[in-house]
């Protein structure tokens, strides 16, 4: 057991039994992580409470969460969620861009984010997209204590759910590489929000990946989709930008697979570690289930260049999921054609780069479906290029 101790200065006013107002002055709060003890002594520092939204000398405690014993929430102090817009975040290497409404974060690709070839995995890229999106909301000053939810959303019991995601990857970052991730939001119809990302190499400025997504609101209690309330629209609309990372004039629809799909995995069960803060399976886990159904030999020789996901419903922790995937054309023919191209042309690449040919290399595709008891969860489409390495 250990004690989390930090200086917190605030002015408390409370009502006594006879109705008189008493001011107890400034205090330092030492909070034990397990909540078993709390001690106070006078202090005159005001920094930390200002960060969580309480002005110096304030007698209002509305901005502070309290435990049942009346003390300041240790969670609130540890998170330090800003109540006002921040321009720079030194802890996350982030800053506000796009004339005050976009966000850029500098990231070093870590060892646990890469695969055997030392390049970042698709799951790692998707996790980075999610993290930078949350950090964008964090710096906006709109973040409540929900999973990316604003204050207005929390008052209306609303959460964000993704309905569509499209990712295009030209190059995969490598272990230890420094990359920059830009993200911004825009309107999507009357009741949706679009969020886009671009990943660039800090060293060369080359664009590695682009992504666009569509988000809608769900009532956390009823689990039904909801319109955007006016107060929430007023919060988020000043941050909207009219530009797209991927131009999708008319998005293609993904066909639904049936039980005749070539590859099927019928025994996928969510683990507790697969659940996010909204108590449903995180969308990144769906991608893992899709890719694991593709034959290993294909994955060894090919690298994903794009993925489109259409989310139909959420998945709970007790459900059994079936993953189906169907190749778009005959696998042996496609691989044979690509092999001939590779042996007769000069290749350039390696270290995570797809490389280049003096002719167009054929791409290969799969259609995917995740379902539970014949009820759709996610439809997907993946496109692949053959891996190219300098050894060839």
389 carries an active-site annotation: no
CA 263 to mean position of chain CA atoms? 29
CA-CA distance, 196 to 241, in Å (whole number)?
10
Q: Using CA atoms, how far apart are residues 279 and 220, in angstroms rounded to an integer?
A: 10
- Is residue 6 annotated as part of the catalytic site, yes or no? no
**Integer Cα distance of 91 and 80 in angstroms:** 12
Q: What backbone phi and psi angles, to 5 degrees, belong to 302?
A: -130, 155
| Structure tokens, 203 | 């060293």
Write down the catalytic residue from 136, 166, 280, 302: 280
Short-list 77, 99, 79, 100, CA closest to 91? 79
CA distance 222 to 238: 29
Q: Strands 28-32, 3-5: parallel, antiparallel or unpaired by DSSP?
A: antiparallel
Instruction: Give me the catalytic one of 315, 325, 368, 385.
Output: 315
Selecting among 145, 156, 278, 351, the annotated active-site residue is: 278
Our measurement of the distance from residue 321's CA atom to the centroid of its chain's CA atoms, rounded to an integer in Å, reads: 22
Helix (H) or strand (E) holding 4: strand 3-5
Question: What are the residues whose beta carbons fall under 8 Å from the beta carbon of 343, sequence distance 6 or more?
Answer: none
Q: Is 315 annotated in the active site?
A: yes
Could you say which DSSP state residue 190 is in? T
Q: Catalytic residue numbers?
A: 278, 280, 315
């Amino acid at each position: 057991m250990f004690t989390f101790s930090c200086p917190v200065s605030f002015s408390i006013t409370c009502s006594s039994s006879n109705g008189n107002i008493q001011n107890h002055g400034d205090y330092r709060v030492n909070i034990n992580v397990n909540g078993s003890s709390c001690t106070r002594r006078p202090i005159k520092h005001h920094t930390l409470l200002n960060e969580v939204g309480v002005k110096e000398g304030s007698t209002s405690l509305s901005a502070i969460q309290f435990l049942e014993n009346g003390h300041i929430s240790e969670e609130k102090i540890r998170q330090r969620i800003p109540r006002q817009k921040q321009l720079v975040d030194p802890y996350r290497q982030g800053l506000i861009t796009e004339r005050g409404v976009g966000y850029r974060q500098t990231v070093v690709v870590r060892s646990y984010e890469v695969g055997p070839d030392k390049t970042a995995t698709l799951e790692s890229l998707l996790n980075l997209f999610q993290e930078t999106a949350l950090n964008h909301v964090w710096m906006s000053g709109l973040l409540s204590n929900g999973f990316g939810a604003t204050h207005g959303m929390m008052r209306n019991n609303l959460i964000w759910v993704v309905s569509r995601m499209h990712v295009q990857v030209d190059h995969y970052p490598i272990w230890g590489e420094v990359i920059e991730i830009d993200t911004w939001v825009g309107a999507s119809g009357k009741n949706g929000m679009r969020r886009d990302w671009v990943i660039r190499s800090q060293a060369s400025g080359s664009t590695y990946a682009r992504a666009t997504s569509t988000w809608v609101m769900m009532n956390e209690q009823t689990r039904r989709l909801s319109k955007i309330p006016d107060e929430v629209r007023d919060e988020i609309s000043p941050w909207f930008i009219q530009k797209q990372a991927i131009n999708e004039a008319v998005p293609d629809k993904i066909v639904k697979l049936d039980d005749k799909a070539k590859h099927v995995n019928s025994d996928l069960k969510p683990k507790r570690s697969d659940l996010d803060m909204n108590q449903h399976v995180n969308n990144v886990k769906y991608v893992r289930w899709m890719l694991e159904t593709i034959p290993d030999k294909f994955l060894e020789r090919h690298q994903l260049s794009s993925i489109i996901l259409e989310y139909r419903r959420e998945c709970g922790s007790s459900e059994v999921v079936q993953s189906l995937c169907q190749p778009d054309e005959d696998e042996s023919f496609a691989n044979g054609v690509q092999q001939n191209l590779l042996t007769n042309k000069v290749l350039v690449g390696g270290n995570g780069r797809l490389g280049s040919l003096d002719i167009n290399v054929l791409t290969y595709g799969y259609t995917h479906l995740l379902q539970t008891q014949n009820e759709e969860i996610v439809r997907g489409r993946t496109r692949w290029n053959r891996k190219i390495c300098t050894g060839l």
